[in-house]
Amino acid sequence: MRCRRSVSRCSRTSRWRARRPPCDSRCCACSPAPRAPAAWRALEALRRFGAEIGLAFQIQDDILDVEGDPALLGKATGADAAHAKPNYPSTAGLPAARRRAEELRDAAVAALAPLEARGALLAQLAHFVVSRSS
């Protein structure tokens, strides 16, 4: 993905865009990146990792809202059900939600392959995200 904005434009507008969605700040992050193909492969790997692990985190958070321990979580559980908010476990069931979170974790770890050893810590993070209980 090539950034369509210049670094200077991102710098000028960074203050008022601080409250904007992350997609606006993504250009600022990628603008100074090296233009070498290897750097772009690494950037794409990180983008894919982020997308996969972000959804896995949300599904795990929904699972914990259904069956988590409020003392460990530090917040009440069952909030989604109390407000009739649909989430992955309520629409697909807990076993399917667990399987999907694991699939997403595996896809996130696989996305790190171009990074080789440099992606090891992120792979550990991915495993923690799906196995967390708080």
Question: What are the domain boundaries of the chain?
Answer: 1-32, 35-131
| pLDDT number for residue 26 | 41
Tell me the C-alpha distance between 126 and 105, whole Å. Answer: 6
**38, 118 in Cβ contact below 8 A?**
no
- Checking if the pLDDT of 15 tops 60, the result is no
- Checking if the pLDDT of 32 tops 50, the result is no
| pLDDT number for residue 78 | 74
- Read off the pLDDT of each residue in 44-68 and give the average, rounded to a whole number: 91
Look at residues 86, 87, 82 and name the one whose alpha carbon lies nearest to residue 62. Answer: 87
**133, 64 in Cβ contact below 8 A?**
yes
Higher pLDDT, 17 or 78: 78
pLDDT digits (tens, 9 = 90+) for 99-124: 999 999 999 999 999 999 999 999 99
Tell me the C-alpha distance between 55 and 61, whole Å. Answer: 10
- Checking if the pLDDT of 8 tops 50, the result is no
Residue partners of 40: CB distance under 8 A and separation at least 6? 33
Higher pLDDT, 73 or 56: 56
- Checking if the pLDDT of 35 tops 70, the result is no
Tell me the C-alpha distance between 47 and 27, whole Å. Answer: 13
pTM of the model: 0.69
